[in-house]
Structure 1
Amino acid sequence: MKRRIHLGAVLVCSLVSYFCSCSAFYLPGLAPVSFCEDGNGADDCQSVIQLFVNRLDSVESVLPYEYDVFDFCKDAKEMRPSENLGQVLFGERIESSPYKFNFKQDVKCSKVCTKTYKKGNQEDIAKLDFLKMGMQLNYQHHWIIDNMPVTWCYDVEDGQKYCNPGFPIGCLVTSDGRAKDACVINAEFNKKNTFYVFNHVEIKITYHSGASEGWRGARLVAATLEPKSFKQVDENTPNCETSSPMEIPGEFENDVSVVYTYSVTFEQDNSIKWASRWDYILVSMPHTNIQWFSIMNSLVIVLFLSGMVAMIMLRTLHKDIARYNQVDQADLIKIPSTKEKFSLPYEDAQEESGWKQVHGDVFRPPRKGMLLSVFLGQGTQIFIMTFITLFLACLGFLSPANRGALMTCAVVLWVLLGTPAGYVSARLYKTFGGEKWKTNVLLTALLCPGIVFADFFLMNLILWVEGSSAAIPFGTLVAILALWFGISVPLTFVGAYFGFKKPAIEQPVRTNQIPRQIPEQSFFTKPIPGIVMGGILPFGCIFIQLFFILNSIWSHQMYYMFGFLFLVFIILLITCSEATILLCYFHLCAEDYHWWWRSFLTSGFTAVYLFIYAVHYFFSKLQIIGAASTILYFGYTMIMVLIFFLFTGTIGFFACFWFVNKIYSVVKVD
């Protein structure tokens, strides 16, 4: 059952979550929960440990499902903690479970509930078939204790231990005897065309005692489990040691009864601090060396581009400018101004070629200036949002412990940054000589967000039809629209008002009335080859980091390396800027002055490489099956590509805009 979130609650939640995120990051001494033994509990020291369950997901399907959909044991007094906007958008559905433990009281093989499926009952058949589907697609539980994921730790290659924040609900041995997924961990899982459900969990909770620390009780620092499968002969006296595995035949021929049990043990370990209790999960993901390799690879590209730009700025342009400033008093009766040197037919001017020949056309307004200004306004909004979000994440405000904070922060920032979007779009549109200011403002506020919302709405319809927990409730959709039209759009109008009120950006040279004819271009200076080449280097700086981001999104791995991500973000800014400046200079030297759109598309073409890589990732790394999952993958990928296109295109445009103004300022009359 999907919970409907009240419109007003979401509006308040989204705003409050953003402003409160400053005190919600994961640092030592921040709001830990203490636990005491039964009978010693108080308001500041709890004795009951409540286990919460989250949605179940799979690497073979994009569709997550709520815990209750799989007909597991339910809590008689089901509770749902409050969810922020980010959690709702990510489809998290946290609820209480029947697994409740008393602190420091070990339990061995305790029954939770029994689920029986009758052969002739259509409802039971549907429930069992859905459970089988979950085991076949390797759906994973995600349990939470004291805001920590309950992890399943197991050995991997080279003696390393990997701690997975989820564990499978079961596994399948195919009709040809091949053990899939978790069935390889037990030699007893060997019967063909049989499902094995993990109906027993052995939970170990590690705590840090406060007896010698000066605070009362203990704090939980780790929670691990090991899933097992046992077939119970007598559900009232369960056996969790020597029982055979719980089998569910592929063909439903007889009644099936599944008894769910658990064991829990407590262990004290004062060497683990509460503030670093996530470390054992993060350490098991040894990506640091790969990340440093990615950074070094990107820095080499940046140094190469920086050298090229420096050579142009300090050598080529410096010589040109110095030659213009050298006036031979003996040969000239009148010393012409710098601007006159471009217009008078004296000897030096006749010898000019390349970028200096197009000074009278380089600032000619581009075609489709309305659309370009709209893209640049939206790109500015996305750039500022991304920068602030990553900066806060680096400081720890948006850590994995603060669930949903990253998405909540991004959405609220985007809503509040409508003013710079309207200002930039209006100012550039006025510079281009545009007069339809109402159309410009409306397109800035509605065009790109409308495309994203339409795509998101279609994907949400598919999720709703499939019964997935990721389907956004109708109230949340209304809340998003209210944030968009109630806050973002008015702020865009405010920014556009100040943008149109300002004078147009002053150009360093006058534009000729008659456009200059562009000479025949070589293959490499033509628009399309230049644009295609322009996105290669920026993409080369990010593709390794992109792999981990896609793993986090689609393979449900925890992403925490925001420091690396912020560094790669800065490198991407530099690379996009320098690559665009270089290609812009080469095109101007070839006397092609159409640089407005080309500067935007050159770095924006990095998004095309992002899409190609996403397609490669889909076919090479994922095992997603089903039409719905495929449509959802590419639907959400298109949203990412559009946002990335606006982001990188805006970076390249403003870098080139600064460069062109800089080099042509030598002909500006003081």
Structure 2
Amino acid sequence: MRASIVASSLLALTQAFYIPGFSYKSYRDGDTIPLLVNKVYSDYSELQYAFTELPFVCPPTGRLRAGHLTSGTSITLNLGEVLRGDRIVVSDYELVMGVDEEVRYLCSQTIDLEGIRRANELIRDGYVAEWIVDNLPGATSFQTTDKSRKYYAAGFKLGDETRLGLGGPAEYLLNNHVTLVIRYHRAPGKDGDKGKKVIVGFEVFPRSITANDRDESGFPAHIEGEHEPLLLVPQANSTNSTDTENEPTTLTIPYTYSVYWREDDRLEWQNRWDMYFVAQDDSANVHWLAIVNSLVICGLLTAVLSVVLTRTIRSDISGHRDIGLAGIKSKSSRKTSSPKREKSNLLGPVADLDIDNMVSDEEEIEDTAGWKLLHGDVFRAPAYGGLLAPLVGSGMQLLYMAFGLIVLSTLGVLNPSFRGGYISVGVGLFVFAGVFSGYFSARIYKTFGGQTWQKNVIITASLVPGLLFATIFILNLFVWIQASSTALPFGTLIALIMLWFFVQLPLVYVGSWFGFERMGAYTHPIRANIIPRQIPDQRWYFKSGQKLLLAGLFPFMVIFVELMFVVKSLWVDKTTYYYAFGYAGVVSAVLTITVVEFTIAATYFLLCSENYHWWWHSFATGGASSIWVYAYLIYCYFTKLHISGFVSSMLFFAYGFLACAVYGLLTGTIGFLAAYAFVGRIYGAIKVD
């Protein structure tokens, strides 16, 4: 009896559980489907606004809807949705499966001059609205350049701008009627046999219809054909039309909509998101060009390392061993052949040393490559090692997060139907990867001679996350003043602080304790000398500015083409989705190899110049491409983007800087680890037992 109850409960739970992108919802004819309204956004601004908070739209009435949802009910959002500015609310639009509606009246909204000004401002800045049906964003349909295929762009325009004649004043038309075309397909499996259907498309066709020529119910005389548009200008009240002294200060906007259901046999449910990426299919050749470009650059660096560095280092190591063995043999022969000196010599033990042979041995060492002269200093702890260790630890935290995101995206777990999933999963991976951050930071800290590992825990757990949170909090104040939905709610800020202090900090503590107390410091093949070696003057290309620019150029060239698609999706055309994780995964792998190889080559040349300060050098070399990425963002701002306004520009540069800093920290850690392994390998090979 208990087993049957548990089994039935689990079955009901699995049927109710919905995984975006993997589980589907099927509907019968006559089922009511909620239409959700989300936000408005623009390519010209970084500020987004909740659709229901706009002064010129119909407010929710609170009537009962499908699934015991009432209009005006806010849908529970995940962390990623909140961070990306989503504010999803159930609307009053009625959608009944399989029932066409030629025209339906929604409401009439009266707005004042401030509301008119606000509507004009949003239309002028090109804002589009995002509605959702069955987790699909309402889309505007377009044709490809060759007119062979149709594709979707998420959202639809709030209105249009028009001018009376050349150079005339701008007038704004509000789209107060929408035609909703919802495409469906027969449900797969047993649901299809029962007559159920799944939604595979949601198209929105907005129109502007004047408020005149309407009946008492708010319907226009005819819905088809051409109509006079609704201009966003104050209109005189019909009851006081004879009063010419008072200028009109209000505008009444009637809202109507039409609903049409159309069957689409060509589009399966699992492929319904393909319509949003048809435009990207046309650029597949460009993606492959980016991969070929990355492989060529990576291949050139691999050839340099394998042919030049490998042969040179092997010859240096073999020559060093020959010199070392020859020196041991000569010393032993001199020890056996030289006569025993008197103990009463005034010079004492010093007189027993063969000064002439010592000079010759030193000359033999000086003849070897410059990097071997640093064997007594190369593992000397760097300056500000207490800062480098937490940075590398946070970089490892980011590395685990990035690897997890790429794997999950490649497997299809993270996809556009999982709204906000990329950010939510990224934050979760980052927080729980704190144990790796503490582990690596503590071991490197102890390797540098640190003793108070509890202090290192606080720095590791608060340095990078604290700076990120403080910057976002300050920027959030400016966004909050603009009443944008991008502003983080107070509860979300508290939740982030709780994650930081009560999840990440304990994980960093556990990882640090295990790394410092149990695993201990990393062992080096050669001990550092007590007296540091004097570093000769360096060449111009080893100076900080030129070095970083040159070191970051090649990794930037690897990601340049793919970076253009990311910038286009985030800022140039926000209605298109960037979903090329297969390409991004390949480019990320090639980028990692390029950073590793270039950092190894740069570290080798630095050591050959008799400079043993390679710790920070390797970290900066690995992350140097972030300088070029930020420079490219600045170039795009002035040449390709349409962002206007002080707050939007500030948000672009600030968030762009944060993104580049995180990217630089991640690639800098990769470079540091590669250089650390390389230095330990070559100096371990020259050690003669």
2:135 is aligned to: 147
1:240 corresponds, among 211, 219, 223, to 223
Report the CA distance shift for 1:26/1:288 in structure 2 as closer, same or farther (over 3 A): farther
Report deviation, 1:262: 1.5
How many residue pairs get aligned? The number is 617
SS of 1:642's partner is helix
- Does the 8 Å contact 1:231/1:243 carry over to 2? no
What is the CA–CA distance in structure 2 between the aligned matches of 1:25 and 1:301, rounded to whole Å? 40
Answer yes or no: is 1:32 the counterpart of 2:11: no
- Does the 8 Å contact 1:580/1:652 carry over to 2? yes
Answer yes or no: is 1:280 the counterpart of 2:275: yes
Q: Name the aligned partner's letter for residue 98 of structure 1.
A: D
2:446 is aligned to: 430
Report the CA distance shift for 1:128/1:651 in structure 2 as closer, same or farther (over 3 A): same
Report deviation, 1:542: 1.1
SS of 1:552's partner is helix
Q: Which stretch shifts more, 266-275 or 341-350?
A: 341-350
2:512 is aligned to: 496
Report deviation, 1:561: 1.1
Q: Which stretch shifts more, 492-501 or 475-484?
A: 492-501
| Residues 500-649 of structure 1 aligned to structure 2 (within 5 Å) | 500-501=516-517, 502-554=519-571, 555-556=573-574, 557-649=576-668
Report the CA distance shift for 1:196/1:177 in structure 2 as closer, same or farther (over 3 A): farther
Over residues 295-343 of structure 1, what are the superposed CA-to-partner deviations in whole Å (9 max), with x where a residue is unaligned? 111111110111111124431112222334447999974588xxxx999
What is the CA–CA distance in structure 1 between the aligned matches of 2:653 and 2:323, rounded to whole Å? 62
Q: Which stretch shifts more, 630-639 or 168-177?
A: 168-177
Answer yes or no: is 1:96 the counterpart of 2:93: no
Report the CA distance shift for 1:667/1:173 in structure 2 as closer, same or farther (over 3 A): same
- Does the 8 Å contact 2:316/2:369 carry over to 1? no
What is the CA–CA distance in structure 2 between the aligned matches of 1:62 and 1:589, rounded to whole Å? 48
Answer yes or no: is 1:74 the counterpart of 2:36: no
Percent identity of equivalent pairs: 35
Report the CA distance shift for 1:666/1:544 in structure 2 as closer, same or farther (over 3 A): same
Report the CA distance shift for 1:652/1:25 in structure 2 as closer, same or farther (over 3 A): farther
SS of 1:540's partner is helix
Q: Name the aligned partner's letter for residue 567 of structure 2.
A: L
Report the CA distance shift for 1:500/1:468 in structure 2 as closer, same or farther (over 3 A): same
- Does the 8 Å contact 2:555/2:591 carry over to 1? yes
- Structure 1 or 2, whichever has the larger Rg, is 2
1:393 corresponds, among 405, 409, 424, to 409
Report deviation, 1:195: 0.8
Report deviation, 1:364: 1.3
2:44 is aligned to: 60
SS of 2:141's partner is strand
What is the CA–CA distance in structure 1 between the aligned matches of 2:85 and 2:489, rounded to whole Å? 10
What is the CA–CA distance in structure 1 between the aligned matches of 2:610 and 2:324, rounded to whole Å? 28
SS of 2:193's partner is coil
SS of 2:73's partner is coil
- Does the 8 Å contact 1:327/1:335 carry over to 2? no
Report the CA distance shift for 1:417/1:344 in structure 2 as closer, same or farther (over 3 A): farther
- Does the 8 Å contact 1:73/1:97 carry over to 2? no
- Does the 8 Å contact 1:66/1:93 carry over to 2? yes
Q: Name the aligned partner's letter for residue 284 of structure 2.
A: T
Q: Which stretch shifts more, 107-116 or 82-91?
A: 107-116
What is the CA–CA distance in structure 2 between the aligned matches of 1:243 and 1:599, rounded to whole Å? 67
1:407 is aligned to: 423
Q: Name the aligned partner's letter for residue 448 of structure 1.
A: V
Report the CA distance shift for 1:587/1:58 in structure 2 as closer, same or farther (over 3 A): same
What is the CA–CA distance in structure 2 between the aligned matches of 1:458 and 1:343, rounded to whole Å? 64
2:200 corresponds, among 196, 201, 221, to 221
What is the CA–CA distance in structure 2 between the aligned matches of 1:102 and 1:343, rounded to whole Å? 96
What is the CA–CA distance in structure 2 between the aligned matches of 1:176 and 1:652, rounded to whole Å? 60
1:83 is aligned to: 77
What is the CA–CA distance in structure 1 between the aligned matches of 2:324 and 2:82, rounded to whole Å? 73
Report deviation, 1:250: 5.7
CA-atom RMSD, angstroms? 2.5
- Does the 8 Å contact 1:24/1:402 carry over to 2? no
| Residues 471-490 of structure 1 aligned to structure 2 (within 5 Å) | 471-490=487-506
- Does the 8 Å contact 1:194/1:248 carry over to 2? yes
SS of 2:98's partner is coil
What is the CA–CA distance in structure 2 between the aligned matches of 1:515 and 1:668, rounded to whole Å? 20
| Residues 340-355 of structure 1 aligned to structure 2 (within 5 Å) | 345=361, 348-355=364-371
Report deviation, 1:523: 1.2
SS of 1:535's partner is helix
Q: Name the aligned partner's letter for residue 293 of structure 2.
A: N
Q: Name the aligned partner's letter for residue 158 of structure 2.
A: I
Q: TM-score, normalised by structure 1?
A: 0.87
Report the CA distance shift for 1:330/1:113 in structure 2 as closer, same or farther (over 3 A): closer
Q: Which runs of 5 or more structure 2 residues have no equivalent in the other structure? A: 1-13, 63-71, 236-246, 333-356
Answer yes or no: is 1:230 the counterpart of 2:209: yes
What is the CA–CA distance in structure 1 between the aligned matches of 2:19 and 2:364, rounded to whole Å? 64
What is the CA–CA distance in structure 2 between the aligned matches of 1:375 and 1:402, rounded to whole Å? 32
Report deviation, 1:668: 2.6
